[in-house]
Structure 1
Amino acid sequence: MSKKLLALTLALGLVLGGCGKAKDTNLDPKDTNIEKQVEDFKDTSKDDDGNVKASEKTSSPNINEVKIDLNASLAKFEEVFADKDIAIEEVKLELENGTYLYKFEGKKENKEYSLSFDANTGDIKAQKEEEDKDKEQIEAIDFSKIISPKEAIDKAIAGQDGAKVVEWSLKTDDGKTKYEIDIENGTDKEVDALTGEVVDD
């Protein structure tokens, strides 16, 4: 083989080899290295317990996206204590460490009941049943007569541009059943749970 032909063959081999390598550098979603990088990124966004770090949370929770509504939360309370006759004196939907929790307080005869659970998953966070030591009379909420939390929220933020509801609570006091609405970028409101009237403006 002549020196020219040998040189040409070697040059062609290098060019083809280079093209092959260039093709290998294309991003392939099945590439295990890319998958590892994604997993590494996910790992750095979590703490040692596997929880998402506060700094990695790009948006705050939205109360309107809570999966368990008030009726379902009441059913959960009754299921946990296996009793439909417990008088509920207060319900709250509160934001704790980036998670919405339902919190219930109730009484029956000589016992007090409290329950806290995740408003999206239903996972129980705290549960207690104990003797009623103070023996105070409570004003139970009549859930058959009240407007929904969504209706109360809409009433509370009406006319408040940019306002966002963060939390709410519901209880009966002095014969009046009211929602207390905690509002961000606006003024907190109290809404009559029977009529929908904003009673604290």
Structure 2
Amino acid sequence: MNKKILMATLGLGLALTLTACGPKNEKADAPNAKNNAAVEASANKNASKNKADAQTKEETAINKGAVANLDRGIAFDGFKKIHPDAKVESFQLEVEDGKAYYKVEGYDAKNEYEITVDAVTGEIVKNESKAEKTSDKTADIQLAMLESIDKFMEEALKDAGQGYEAGEYEVELDNGKYVVNVEVVKGKKDITYKYDLESGKLIEKDK
């Protein structure tokens, strides 16, 4: 899984209204112009800092799952409603272009399907299908399996240590076993853990 950064923008506007009484004093204009320039420079500096702070907060929010506040079950059920005869072969949370999405992939006897759901609004932003031979597929992920994600994420965070936060994840069938891949991140560092969903054992840790 590739970690993508959730970008946030923060605009700061500053309006200054100056009023003066009596005749215009040209000598006073120069200091005022300098003061205005200094205020504008300070405002721009603060705006840049606020933007950086906002970005950091949003990155933390997506890592913790706060931005992906749509119940994952809604995305799962949404796939089943659109493709009632299809089986789910993978379910994941990923970040693309600064937004969090649930991606659900599945298949039936004749086709493969993929839907992408906005993890905040619930909007289905992509619904694709293609004719494909699927007779060799055996995956059949159930909604109850997704409940294990939080447990494995907590284990990964405990192992990773202080400062790491939850990132993307995926449930899939891998070599005949259902596995849960979870990613934890700390700044530019990330660690991916693969767990056996049934036994709960750690299969692999990839730094």
Scaled to the shorter chain, the TM-score interval is 0.5 to 0.7
Given that residues 116 and 125 in structure 1 are in contact (C-alpha distance below 8 angstroms), is that contact kept between their aligned partners in structure 2? yes
1:149-168 equivalence runs, <5 A: 149-160=149-160, 161-168=162-169
Equivalent position of 2:179 in the other structure = 178
Q: Which position in structure 1 is the counterpart of 2:55?
A: 57
Question: 1:39-188 alignment to 2 at 5 Å?
Answer: 57-59=55-57, 60=59, 61-65=62-66, 66-81=68-83, 83=84, 85-133=85-133, 136-145=136-145, 147-160=147-160, 161-185=162-186, 186-188=190-192
Of stretches 97-106 and 55-64 in structure 1, the one that deviates more from structure 2 is 55-64
CA distance in 2, matches of 1:130, 1:54: 42
CA contact (8 A) 1:139 1:173 kept: no
How far is 1:71 from its partner?
A: 1.9
Q: Which of 183, 198, 201 is matched with 1:197 structurally?
A: 201
Q: Is the 8 A contact 1:87 1:141 kept in 2?
A: yes
Larger displacement relative to structure 2 (64-73 or 162-171): 64-73
Task: Name the residue aligned to 2:40.
Answer: none
Larger radius of gyration: 1
Shift of 1:195: 3.1
Structure 2: any 5+ residue segments left out of the alignment? Answer: 1-20, 22-46
Please report how far the alpha carbon of residue 117 of structure 1 lies from its aligned counterpart in structure 2 after TM superposition. 1.2
Which runs of 4 or more aligned residues in structure 1 lie more than 3 Å from their structure 2 counterparts after TM superposition? 53-58, 133-136, 142-147
Deviation string 1:155-177 (CA, Å, 9 cap, x unpaired) is: 22223221122211110112211
Given the two structures, how large is their TM-score scaled by the length of structure 1? 0.64
Residue range with higher mean Cα deviation, 156-165 or 128-137: 128-137
> What is the CA-CA distance between 1:70 and the residue it aligns to?
2.6
Q: Structure 1, unaligned stretches of length 5 or more? A: 1-17, 19-43, 46-52
With over 3 angstroms needed to count, the CA separation of the structure-2 counterparts of 1:55 and 1:97, relative to structure 1, is farther
Identity of aligned residues (%): 23
So what's the TM-score if we normalise by structure 2? 0.62
The answer on whether the counterparts of 1:155 and 1:191 sit within 8 Å (CA) in structure 2 is: no
Offset at residue 134 of structure 1 (A) = 6.6
Give the 3-state SS of the residue equivalent to 2:191 in structure 1: coil
For 2:159 and 2:53, the matched residues in 1 are separated by 33
> In the aligned structure 2, how far is the partner of 1:125 from the partner of 1:166?
21
Q: CA RMSD in A?
A: 2.9
